[in-house]
Amino acid sequence: MGIFDKFQALAANRRELETLGIDPFGVQIERIISPTEGLINGRHTILAGTNNYLGLTFDPECIAAARTALEFEGTGTTGSRMANGSYSGHRKLEQELAAFYEKRDAIVFSTGYQANLGLLAALVGPGDVVLLDADCHASIYDGCRLGGAETIRFRHNNAQDLAKRLRRLGARAADALIVVEGIYSMLGDHAPLQEIAAVKCEFGCYLMVDEAHSLGVLGERGRGLVEELDVMADADFIMGTFSKSLGSAGGFCVSNLVELDLIRYSSRPYIFTASPSPATIASTRSALRKLASGSQLRQRLHDNAKHLHAGLTALGYTLGAPPSPVVAVVIEGRIEALKFWKDLLHHGVYSNLMLPPVTPNGVSLIRCSVSAAHTTAQIDAVCAAFADLRLTV
């Protein structure tokens, strides 16, 4: 068997897309006009699939901070945090994240994917047990795989199933790690975090919550579902990313556990990856200050999410979850979803196409992500495009 034989099914799928004239994974935004607008295929397009929840990618203060860092610290660190890649800004951002969450300390990683990969691969290894929600992100699965821990999936958002599986572990349950997300990226649904935290406390194990899609979105201060549901004290590890609400790139983990610092010396993705550029760190710090300073952007985001959700519901579409910044439309059939995505782009709306096997329960999704920067007119235009295509579904 040749090393490329395993790709035959993938190659067949690619040929099918070429036959249909559809390339959902090779879209190039030729010019960014604003956080919510761009040129795609020469057409003015509403960006409704970027996860730019607070619209901070064009924030003047964030841009100014990045520009200053570029001027005085250069374009990159050219080294890992363990080598020459720890600048003062990296540590300051960690301290600011810890203060924001009222936790003892934080670790900053180069990407959100690496935050999960690096934390889990170092934290849990052979002989350890991780119980993760079946709909967890690929980075969580990959971190468990890299560390070599025994991985047990429990049914999505089902605290009773989690408790049943912990009970089967007997004495091992006390050292187990539970992993869930705040908002799940495919459907936009929330974890039943209070119930999950109660199970965690019952068995005395550890809890990790990935707030990638809920940082800046939920909670009085934007600290995510752990704050929204008042379970922050029960979360031993809180993960997050800078690439959504904070408008840059990178990831982090905050914790009260003193052992968090040991992750720096045992996490291969942390040790062997160049640290984030000074400009990225500077813009992230500026965005975090803006996020923490008020709730106006969050309120605008939720207003827009409710507007889009109500509009699509009124049109008769099946949506994946109650109102959330992630608005996922269920489309019956893979080919139908591919054609719908293409037609939506021709109507001037960029969205995300999600297909099996990465989607829950094998459904096909047209996923929109709402931003605080979207105008009412843009939300209405997205709804109008869906209305025009309603008869094709």
CA triplet 79, 84, 85: central angle to 5 degrees? 60
Q: Is residue 54 part of a domain?
A: yes
Q: Are residues 93 and 144 in the same domain?
A: yes
* Mean pLDDT to the nearest integer, 297-323: 97
**For residue 67, is it within any domain?**
no
Return the active site residues.
Answer: 185, 213, 244
Across 91-105, 179-193, 266-280, 379-393, least confident range: 379-393
Q: What angle do the packed helices 334-346 and 8-20 form, to 10 degrees?
A: 50
According to DSSP, residue 178 is labeled: E
pLDDT score of 393:
55
Q: Which of 10-24, 29-43, 144-158, 289-303 has the lowest mean pLDDT?
A: 10-24
pLDDT at 351 over 70: yes
Same domain, 354 and 366: yes
Is the per-residue pLDDT at 129 higher than 90?
A: yes
Kindly report the average pLDDT of the chain as a whole number. Answer: 95
| Position 352 in a domain | yes
pLDDT at residue 1 is higher than 80: no
Residue 316 in domain: yes
Residues 149, 272, single domain; the answer is: yes
Is residue 303 exposed (0-12), middle (13-18) or buried (19+ Cβ within 10 Å)? middle
Indicate the pLDDT class of residue 234, thresholds 50, 70 and 90: very high
The SS3 assignment for 350 reads strand
More confident: 357 or 279:
279
CATH number at residue 110: 3.40.640.10
Q: Is the pLDDT of residue 285 over 70?
A: yes
Q: Cα(20)–Cα(12) distance, rounded to whole angstroms?
A: 13
> Above 80 in pLDDT, residue 37?
yes
**Domain end point (choices 293, 315, 342):** 293
Q: Would the pLDDT of 16 be above 90?
A: no
Residues 191, 52, single domain; the answer is: no
Banded pLDDT at 392 (limits 50, 70, 90): low
136-140's contacts with Cβ under 8 Å and 24+ in sequence apart are 136/179, 136/180, 136/181, 136/210, 137/181, 137/185, 137/210, 137/212, 138/358, 139/112, 139/113, 139/114, 139/115, 140/116, 140/179, 140/210
Residue 387's alpha-carbon distances to 183, 314, 369, 393, in angstroms, are 27, 10, 18, 11
* Tens digit of each residue's pLDDT (9 = 90 or more) over 238-269: 999 999 999 999 999 999 999 999 999 999 99
Q: Are residues 304 and 388 in the same domain?
A: yes
Q: Are 149 and 281 part of one and the same domain?
A: yes
Query: Among 293, 310, 342, where does a domain finish?
Result: 293
d(CA 58, CA 172): 49
pLDDT tops 70 at residue 375: yes
Q: Residue 324 belongs to a domain with what CATH number?
A: 3.90.1150.10
Q: pLDDT tens digits for 203-219?
A: 999 999 999 999 999 99
- Residues 139 and 226 placed together within one structural domain of the fold: yes
Tell which of 293, 314, 341 closes a domain.
Answer: 293
As for how many domains the chain has, the answer is 2
63 domain residue, yes or no: no
- Indicate if 115 and 36 belong to the same structural domain: no
Domain that holds residue 43: 5-58+295-392
